[in-house]
Every structure is written in C-alpha cells, then in structure tokens.
C-alpha cells in the first residue's frame, strides 16, 4: 500500500485513528484483501500509531469506502468511529477525569466534555473549522473527510459515532448523536446534535 505524499503534510493534519480504527473493521468485514483494496483506492497505507498524519489520504480512504461499499459504508464507518471513541477513553482521557465526569449531572458533564473535545478538535477535524454550539451540538465547517463529495444524505457516520461513544461513556448511556446537516449536502458545516434517547 502506498504512503501519502510529502506535499500533503502541510495541507492539514488529522489523528491517525482516522485510519487505524477503520483497518480492523474492514478486515472483520472482508479480510485483509478488502482492507488493502479500500486503502489502495484511497492511495494510503496504514499510518504510524503516534503523531499526526496528513488529512488528505485519510479523507480519500473514507471516500473510497463510501464509493466501493455504499450500502455498508455507514455501518462500517460507525464501527470505526466507535473504535476511535474507545481508544480515546482508554488512552487519552485520564481515569480520574472519567470518574469525575460520570459522577456529575449530565448537563454539567456534557459541558465539561464538550470543552475537552473542542480543545482537541484538530485530531479529528483536520483543517476543518470546529465549533461547539453549546455542550450538545458540534459543527465542522469545510469538513475534510467529505470535502468535494455530493450526497442527498449526511455522510459523517464516523464523526457521529466518535461523539456518541464518548458521551455515552461519560455523560449518559442513552445519548444519541445525529448528523443533521452535512457539507456533502451543500451545508456550510457538518452539524452533530446530541440528545438523550428519549428526546429524539
């Protein structure tokens, strides 16, 4: 599998989990042949586990997944996003902080978690413009993972799953994250709304 071009390094960086968590999902779905095919279509190889990677090859692999497996892509991207969320819980959020968040009332926990997500947004938003419209709503303007794509429906199942996994673990078990607008639909930003299960 090929690596990214050196010129792409300055174009925007994203966390390697954009691909590291997708690889095993593809292997579970169709073996290493499917993983290698999707990554090759995206012109990317598996990135190193540490540091950042150029966003362009990560975006191309996600776009290749949607083009190659349009019906399965939402489920597979969601599984990869859940993997990213679990990785963050295991390696990036201190255990003591998790205990505190879980003990707080959900509105306060959501407020604190949203601030932490905003501080580290570059790891999953790349060169996109991240904003938090309150503790339950996030936006990524010019989202690089769907940049240039056109769709009738929202495409960012990976991002939504990352947010939902974190909120379910640290805020409330019944939260749902739904993408209500997507750059691929012509919206200026991909908008993610998080709500308790009974609230829609």
- What integer pLDDT is reported at residue 193 of this predicted model? 98
Check residues 101 and 2 and name the one with the higher pLDDT: 101
d(CA 1, CA 40): 6
- What integer pLDDT is reported at residue 50 of this predicted model? 87
Confidence band (pLDDT; 50, 70, 90) for 198?
A: low
CATH label, 6-199, candidates 3.40.50.11610, 3.30.565.10, 1.20.1560.10, 3.90.1520.10: 3.90.1520.10
Residues above pLDDT 70, as percent of the chain: 93
d(CA 138, CA 134): 8
pTM: 0.91
- What integer pLDDT is reported at residue 13 of this predicted model? 93
As a whole number, mean pLDDT of residues 78-84 equals: 97
Assigned token pair, 92: 């990036």
Query: Nearest-CA neighbor of 148 among 52, 28, 64?
Result: 64
- What integer pLDDT is reported at residue 197 of this predicted model? 77
Please tell me the chain's helix, strand, coil percentages from 3-state DSSP, rounded to the nearest 5. 55, 15, 30
Confidence band (pLDDT; 50, 70, 90) for 122?
A: confident
């Amino acid at each position: 599998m090929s690596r990214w071009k050196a010129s792409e390094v300055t174009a925007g960086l994203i966390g390697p989990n954009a691909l590291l968590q997708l690889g095993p999902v593809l292997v579970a779905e169709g073996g290493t042949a499917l993983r290698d095919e999707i990554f090759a279509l995206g012109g990317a190889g598996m990135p190193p586990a540490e540091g950042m990677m150029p966003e362009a090859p990560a975006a191309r692999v996600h776009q290749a997944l949607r083009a190659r497996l349009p019906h399965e892509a939402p489920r597979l991207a969601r599984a990869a996003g859940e993997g990213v969320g679990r990785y963050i819980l295991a390696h990036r959020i201190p255990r003591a902080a998790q205990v505190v968040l879980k003990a707080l009332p959900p509105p306060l926990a959501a407020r604190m978690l949203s601030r932490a997500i905003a501080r580290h947004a570059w790891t999953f938003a790349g060169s996109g413009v991240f904003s938090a419209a309150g503790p339950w709503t996030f936006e990524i303007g010019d989202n690089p993972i769907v940049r240039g794509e056109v769709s009738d429906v929202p495409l960012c199942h990976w991002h939504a799953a990352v947010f939902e996994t974190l909120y379910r673990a640290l805020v409330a078990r019944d939260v749902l994250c739904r993408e209500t607008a997507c750059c691929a639909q012509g919206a200026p930003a991909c908008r993610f709304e998080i709500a308790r299960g009974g609230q829609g």
